[in-house]
Structures are given as C-alpha cells and as structure tokens.
Amino acid sequence: MLTQYERFMGGPMVSARDRDRVTIDSKARITMNRKTFETLGEPEAVALAYDKVNGVIAIERVSAQLPEAFPIYVAKGAWIIFAASFCRHIGLRLDRTMKFDEPKFLPDHTLLLDLRNMSAAGWKIYKPKQA
C-alpha cells in the first residue's frame, strides 16, 4: 500500500494569554492584553510615533511627565491608550475594531504595529461600508 503523509508544520495552538494581542477601534482606542503590556515594560505612559513610508505605529514607554506622553488606563483586564489625537494626526480612521495580526517588539521593548497587517476583530463578518 502506497501512502503519502504530509507533516503538519503549524504546531500546537497557543493560548490567548500567551500571545500578544493589540486592537484599535473606531474611537482610536488602542487596547492590549496583559502579555503585551508586560512585554512593553508595564509603563504608566507611552509615546506614539508613525512610520509613514512603511505604515507602522511605534509605541514606546516613556515618563508620564513628558508632554507627548499618552497615559495607559486599565479597564476590565485590558490596557488602553486613548490615541484619538494621534490617529487624527496620521489620518487613520476606522469604522470597526481591528486587531494587529503580528505585533512585534524591538530589543528595547518598543512595540511595532503594522497597519498593513490587520484583520477584523471579533466574531462578526466584516463588510466594508458602501460609498
């Protein structure tokens, strides 16, 4: 008997608690889970930067005393950055909550969020609004 097995290379599922999760909603709230917050260094404030060429947002821990510092708020097991002024500045508008598919960290714990690598968050099927 001839058989042809194909090895599954995906590996086991990773628990939601064990992976970084970051979303941004239509009100420009950037929300992260505990793992992401801890990897970021558990800051009380962050600075936001934008790479226009590559479409990447950088979140860097900073002193809350800096004028450009965005405080981080905790609500229901999530850590939230109210980033409306930043999103207006870079021209980012969303009509639903989106999750960043592959949030990445630099060695200095700066979080990188690729706007070209997002998907709809939640269980509803996303249908863009018609013009």
pLDDT over 70, % of the chain: 91
The CA distances from residue 77 to 25, 41, 42, 46, in Å, are 17, 16, 14, 18
Which helix (H) or strand (E) segment holds residue 70: the answer is strand 70-75
Q: How would residue 75 be classed by pLDDT, with cut points 50, 70 and 90?
A: very high
Q: pTM value?
A: 0.82
Which of 61, 63, 57, 12 is CA-nearest to residue 37?
A: 61
Mean pLDDT of the chain, nearest integer? 90
Measured CA to CA, the distance from residue 2 to residue 106 in angstroms comes to: 48
Which of 43, 16, 12, 39 is CA-nearest to residue 99?
A: 16
